[in-house]
Amino acid sequence: MNTELFDRLGEPARMRELAGYDLLNPDLRTSLDAVAQRSATLLEAPVSLVSVILESAQFILGSHGVSGWVAAAQGTPAEWAMCTYTVLAGEPYCITDGRSDPRHSGNPFLQLTGLVSYLGVPLLGAGGHILGAHCVIDARPRIFTDVDLAVITDGAEKVMRLLHAYRTG
C-alpha cells in the first residue's frame, strides 16, 4: 500500500474531523445524491460524486451515474481517486484528458471506467481540514470553463451545508 500518501491523508486531526460527521446516514446520502444529480445535469456530465477521502480510500457519500465495482465498493482506493488530488491540492483541480496527462494516464480508475476528464472542488470542513471533494467526471475530453467551476463550487457549498447538519462531534 502507498504509505506516504496514506500518512498524508490519515493525519489524525483531519481524521478526527471526518469522524465528527454521521457519514453513513441514509438521509444524508439521499440529499447528496440529489446534489450530485443536479451538478451532473447542469454540467452535462455522466458522473458526479460527493466523496470524502479517508486514510486509504475514497468513500462516496452521494453520486450520480456510478455503477459496477465502484458502486459495489461505494468508493475507490485513495491512490486511484482523482478527488485525492483535489484534497491534497486544497483547490479546484481539473483534468482535460487523463489519457494524455502523465499524472493520470496510468490510473486504473480511468482505464476501467472509460472516463477521461475531471473537475473537482475541495470540501472544506469547519475545523479547517479538506475533507473531500465534489466533482464531475466525463467520458470525453473537456476544457472546463469558469462557469463550470462556478456550478460545481455552488454544489460544494450545498454539500457543506448538508454535512454541517449531520455533525455529531
Partner 1 sequence: MIASSPYGLSRPTMDDARAAVLRVHAGDGRRIWDQLLHAAGLTGRETDDSALDRLLTQMSTSDATTRLCALALRIRVTSHTHLAAAAQSITRS
Residues that bind partner 1 (CB under 8 A): 1, 3, 6-7, 10, 12, 15-16, 18-20, 23, 54-59, 68-69, 72-78, 108, 111-112, 168-169
CB under 8 Å to 143, separation ≥6 — which residues? 96
**Whole-number minimum distance, CB 94 to partner 1, in Å?**
24
Q: Which residue number, 72 or 143, has a Cβ lying nearer to partner 1? A: 72
Q: Is 3 exposed, middle or buried (0-12, 13-18, 19+ CB in 10 A)?
A: exposed
Q: Which residue number, 102 or 106, has a Cβ lying nearer to partner 1? A: 106
**Whole-number minimum distance, CB 99 to partner 1, in Å?**
16
**Whole-number minimum distance, CB 148 to partner 1, in Å?**
28
Furthest C-alpha separation in the chain: 43
Q: Which residue number, 65 or 77, has a Cβ lying nearer to partner 1? A: 77
SS3 content of the chain, % helix, strand, coil (to 5): 45, 25, 35
Is-contact 63 81, C-beta < 8 A? no
